[in-house]
């Protein structure tokens, strides 16, 4: 019995919308580092039953991989309150994955949303000045 959810373009948005904290492993069956990371990810899923651990097969779900600009796999992404708070390519060792999960749990999401809004406003301001 696996404790991870297979994410597809059909269930991705719903999963991220319905759950406060979602980890996403972008992987492929031919990828050696992905195979090495899989048991580490599975163990973390078992250790954190309150979180949703999803997996996106980048071969079967090319649209999702492209939508998130996945360049190399495995890539781990963490989404809290529908905001991507972490994204990093590479197979993390168990201790590093545990640390990343702990850090993501401790984030003040009000601060994160405020920071994202400020960055967006800044980007829009720069885009508006570009045409003058």
Which band of pLDDT confidence, cut at 50, 70 and 90, is reported for residue 130?
Answer: low
- Which pLDDT score, from 0 to 100, does residue 116 have? 86
pLDDT tens-place string over residues 80-115: 999 999 999 999 999 999 999 999 999 999 998 898
pLDDT of residue 120: 87
**Residue in 7, 23, 24, 31 annotated catalytic:** 31
Query: C-alpha angle 16/107/112, rounded to 5°?
Result: 75
31 is catalytic: yes
pLDDT one-digit tens code per residue, 62-85: 999 999 999 999 999 999 999 999
pLDDT for the residue 1: 44
The answer to whether the CB of 104 falls within 8 A of the CB of 50 is no
Where are the extended beta strands (E) located within 11-131?
Answer: 21-27, 52-57, 75-80, 83-89
Q: Which of 34, 52, 64, 79 is catalytic?
A: 34
Query: What is the pLDDT at residue 128?
Result: 74
Asked if 49 and 38 touch (Cβ cutoff 8 Å), the reply is no
Helix (H) or strand (E) holding 127: helix 109-129
Residue 126: which pLDDT band, with cuts at 50, 70 and 90? confident
Is 85 catalytic? The answer is no
Tokens 């994160």 label which residue?
112
What is the reported pLDDT for 79? 96
Residues in a beta bridge with 77? 24, 87
- Percentage of residues in the chain with pLDDT exceeding 70? 95
């Amino acid at each position: 019995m696996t404790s991870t959810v297979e994410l597809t373009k059909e269930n991705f948005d719903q999963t991220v919308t319905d759950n406060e904290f979602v980890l996403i492993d972008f992987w492929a069956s031919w990828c050696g580092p992905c195979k090495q990371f899989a048991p580490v990810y599975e163990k973390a899923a078992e250790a954190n039953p309150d979180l949703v651990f999803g997996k996106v097969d980048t071969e079967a779900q090319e649209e999702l991989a492209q939508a998130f600009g996945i360049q190399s796999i495995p890539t781990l992404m963490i989404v809290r309150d529908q905001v991507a708070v972490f994204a990093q390519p590479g197979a993390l060792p168990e201790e590093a994955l545990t640390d990343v999960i702990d850090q993501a749990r401790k984030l003040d999401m009000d601060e994160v949303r405020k920071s994202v809004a400020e960055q967006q406003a800044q980007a829009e301001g720069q885009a508006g000045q570009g045409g003058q």
